[in-house]
Amino acid sequence: MLAILFWRNAVNFCLVMVCCLSLLIFNPSSAMASINDDRYDGNIFVVYAGNGSLVPPPLTLPQSLQRKTPTILVYYLDDSSDCKQFAIVVSRMQEFYGRAASIIPVNVDTIPVKDNYTPQETGYYYQGIVPQTVILNQEAEMVFNGKGQVKFETVDDVLREVFDLLPRSESVELKRRAFNEFNSELVP
């Protein structure tokens, strides 16, 4: 009698496992992250750019303005395919300008809804589209307002002017650093 109960429970367990596996096999998109859909997969900078250091930002907008530091505001949503694809560009901005400029990713869901904002609030610059990239110079003047996915080179040109750097045509091309010495030896 005990053996019959054991086998009956074992068969029931196997049937449940087969049903669960078949759901995953025949509907894999619901369980997998995808850069091309508008589903929430987690923080886009961690999942798609491999850069968890962007969120939360080290400085707030008022702190950055007080320090007279050029500021890059990037408005995004974690469940936007356009923002997911743009996350790597933001990570690249940080790679080249993160020590000299404040990069502040702003999840638009966290902007408080109100009628008026001051220039010290992130809602002041947001225009209802994601991604949106706003660059403020050292005097807190808006020098760039890019809507949608903008190319790194476009932002780079603006930041070169803000920092009084040579234009790209007259300077060394910016290249990514290798992860470590071992990787640089493997890559030609």
pLDDT digits (tens, 9 = 90+) for 125-139: 999 999 999 999 999
67: Cα within 13 Å, side-chain hemisphere: 13
pLDDT digits (tens, 9 = 90+) for 87-128: 999 999 999 999 999 999 999 999 999 999 999 999 999 999
pLDDT at res. 4: 73
For the residues 45-68, what does the mean pLDDT come to? 93
Q: SS3 of 177, please?
A: coil
Question: CA angle, 115 as apex, 54 and 120 as ends, to 5°?
Answer: 40
Strand order in the sheet with 142-147: 102-107, 71-76, 132-136, 142-147
List, as one string, the DSSP characters of 15-37: HHHHHHHHHHHH-GGGTS--TTS
Confidence of residue 52 (pLDDT cuts 50, 70, 90): confident
pLDDT at res. 5: 62
Confidence of residue 178 (pLDDT cuts 50, 70, 90): low
More confident call, 166 vs 2: 166
More confident call, 177 vs 99: 99
| Token couple for 2 | 């005990």
pLDDT digits (tens, 9 = 90+) for 57-76: 999 999 999 999 999 999 99
pTM of the full predicted structure? 0.76
pLDDT at res. 182: 45
Sign of CA dihedral 82, 85, 87, 92: negative
> With pLDDT > 90 as the criterion, what percentage of the chain qualifies?
63
